[in-house]
Amino acid sequence: MKKKIKIGVFLEGSPKMGGGFFQSLKSLLMLLKIDEYKDNIEVILTDITVKHYFSKNKTKTVLFKNNKFLRYFSELFEVSLFKELLDKFKFKHPFTKFILKNKYDLIIFLGPSSMSKYCSNISFIFNIWDLDHKKNSQFPEHNLNYVYEKKEKLLKEVIFKAFKIVVPHESNKEDLINFYKIKKEQIINQNFIPVLPDLFIENDKKENDYKEIFYKLNLPINKKIVFYPAQFWAHKNHKYIIDAAEIMKNKSIDDFIFVFCGTDKGNLNYLKDLIRKKDLNEYFKILDFISDDVLISMYLNCDSVIMPTYCGPTNLPIYESFYFKKIIFYTKGLIPNDDINNHLVLIDINSPQDLTEKLSILFNKKQINNIVEENYEYYKEICNEALFIKNYKKMLEEFSYLFNRWG
C-alpha cells in the first residue's frame, strides 16, 4: 500500500516583506489546488496575522514562532564550537524539533528561508528567487553585516541537500549551475505568478470603491502618475528616477509625478534628503507600506509603472502591470534572451535622460492601449496556474515514489 506523505509548507513573514511574501503566498494558494495532495498539506506560519488569507478554505495551519530569541539562538548553530557542544548533548534546533514533532515527510520552503538549514532529518524543496548577492555584491544590502557570507553559507549548506530547487527564470538556473555546479535535473524553472490579481478578483469592492481609496491619497489629477512599488533598498535604484526628475525640472517638464511605496530598508532618508535638496517635492509622493487595497487602487488608477532595478532578472511588478493593463518601464538588459522584453518599455539605467525621453509614450493613448492589451494576453499565457500545478505535482509524485522505497 502506498504511504501518504505529510507536507509542511513554510510561509515565512508577513505582507510587510513586500514582493517576496506575496510570491510565497501565491505559490501556496496554487499548491492547495493540487487535488491529489491538498489534503496532505499543513501550512507553517511564522506570523499569525496572515491566517486570514486561508479563511475561505479548510487549510490546516500551525504557528512556528520565528522571534528575535530564535534568531539569536540560531546564531549559536553557526559557531562550530557551540554546534559541536549542542550536538554532543543531542540538543536540536527548535525548528528541527518542530518538524519532528509534527511528523512531516517533506517541507516546501516557498522562499530562501534559513530554516532549511535545520532539515537534516527531512527532505525539502527550496525556492531561490535570485542570486543577486553574487551578481550585485556592491550594494549595502548584500555586503553589510556579513549578509553576503550568510547567504553563501546558507546556499552551500542547503542546495546540495534539497530534493528540488525552484527558480523563477531560466537565467537563474544557468547561474546556479555556473556558480555552484548544481545538476540541472535538480532545478525546476517556474515563472513568478502574482497573487494581487486573485485578491482583486476575490474582493467585493467595486471600481468606485478603489477610486475612493485612490482619491484619499491626494495625488494631482492633472499629472501623469508613474508608480514604483518597491521596498526602499539601494538596488531598487530609486535615485535613477530622482535624477530623471531633476532633468525634467531643468527643462520645465512638470506634468509627471512619481509615487513610491514600500518599507524602509535603510535607504529612505537618503532619498528624501535628495528630493528636498534638489527641490523636487512636486515630482514625488512617498507612501509608507500600503495595504492590498491601496496597492490595487494604485495599479488601477496610475498611468504607468516603473522599475529601474539592478536585481532580477524578473520581478513581480512586471506581471502585476501586465494584468492591470499598465505599461511598465523596466531595466534594459536585465532579462537575457527572453520574449518578455518585447512587452516592456526598456530603459537605460545608466542614463536618466533615457527615461525622460521614454516617458513621452504616456501621451500616446492609442499606442498604450495596443501595448497593454497585448501584454494582458501575454500575461494569461505565461502566468499559467496549470503549469505551476503540473510542475509541483510532478515533483511531489517523484518524491512520493522515492518515499515509498523505505519503511
Domain of residue 325: give its range: 196-382
Domain-embedded: residue 2 = no
Same domain, 218 and 102: no
Please tell me whether residue 256 adopts helix, strand or coil conformation.
strand
Encode pLDDT of 32-41 as tens digits: 999 999 999 9
Residue 92's pLDDT band (cuts 50, 70, 90): confident
DSSP per-residue codes, 122-174: SEEEEE----HHHH-TTSHHHHGGGHHHHHHHHHHHHTTT-SEEEESSHHHHH
401: pLDDT strictly greater than 90: yes
Domain-embedded: residue 1 = no
Same domain, 35 and 127: yes
Same domain, 243 and 299: yes
Same domain, 100 and 237: no
Domain-embedded: residue 154 = yes
Same domain, 168 and 291: no
Same domain, 392 and 322: no
Domain-embedded: residue 214 = yes
Domain-embedded: residue 339 = yes
**Backbone torsions φ then ψ of 91, nearest 5 degrees:** -90, 120
Same domain, 93 and 217: no
Domain-embedded: residue 189 = yes
Same domain, 41 and 123: yes
CATH number at residue 76: 3.40.50.2000
Domain-embedded: residue 407 = no
Q: What is the structure's pLDDT at 68?
A: 67
Strand 224-229's sheet: what is its strand order?
284-287, 256-261, 224-229, 304-307, 327-331, 345-347
User: Is the CB of residue 129 less than 8 Å from the CB of residue 173?
Assistant: no
Same domain, 107 and 19: yes
Same domain, 263 and 153: no
Mean pLDDT of the chain: 93
Comparing CA positions, the residue from 111, 69, 59, 60 lying closest to residue 94 is 69
Encode pLDDT of 282-340 as tens digits: 999 999 889 999 999 999 999 999 999 999 999 999 999 999 999 999 999 999 989 99
Q: What is the structure's pLDDT at 76?
A: 65
180: pLDDT strictly greater than 70: yes
Is the preceding peptide bond at 194 cis, omega within 30 degrees of 0?
Answer: no
Separation CA 223–CA 220 (nearest Å): 6
Same domain, 378 and 390: no
Same domain, 66 and 169: yes
pTM above 0.75, yes or no: yes
Domain-embedded: residue 220 = yes
Q: What is the structure's pLDDT at 192?
A: 95
Q: Number of folded domains in the chain?
A: 2
Q: What is the structure's pLDDT at 86?
A: 65
